[in-house]
Amino acid sequence: MVASLFGRKPEIRWKLIVGAAGQIVMAVLLLLVGAEAAIWFLVLIAIVTGIPQGLVNLAIQNTLYHQADPTRMGATSGLLRTFMYLGAMLASAATGAFFHTTADTGGLHDLAWFMLGAGALFLVITLVDRSLRRVDRLATGVAGH
């Protein structure tokens, strides 16, 4: 749904900001999960999780398509995929580290704190990166400095 609504828009900065904010909201919601959590609350968390997932992936792909040298698109796409796999491995390692031998609420909360820190770091990096505004102006063809 996110991809169909925002996939053709070349701007990336706002997608990254909303994506990072969504990750933070999702982590906070996970901190509120307990054994008695209602199904609707878990569905809400799943929906909130999908928004940053879609927006961040779109932003990264938009960056690739709008900034990569066309003659090096294959290599650039390969590097993107490599780093996405590294991120997936880090996520799997974190899940294993926080859940140890059993999946319980304590492990979920520890993992949520880890994700909250990662989301906050992602948001700060995105907010202070001035180059993202230049990329957006170039992608949309808006002149400025």
**What are the pLDDT digits (tens) for 93-112?**
999 999 988 889 999 999 99
> Is it the case that residue 145 has pLDDT exceeding 60?
no
Distance (Å) of CA 144 to CA 56, 67, 89 = 25, 18, 40
Predicted confidence at residue 2, as pLDDT, reads 75
Token pair in block for residue 133: 């505004």
Give ∠ CA 7-142-80 in degrees, rounded to 5.
40
| Mean per-residue pLDDT, 127-145 | 72
Name the pTM for this structure.
Answer: 0.83
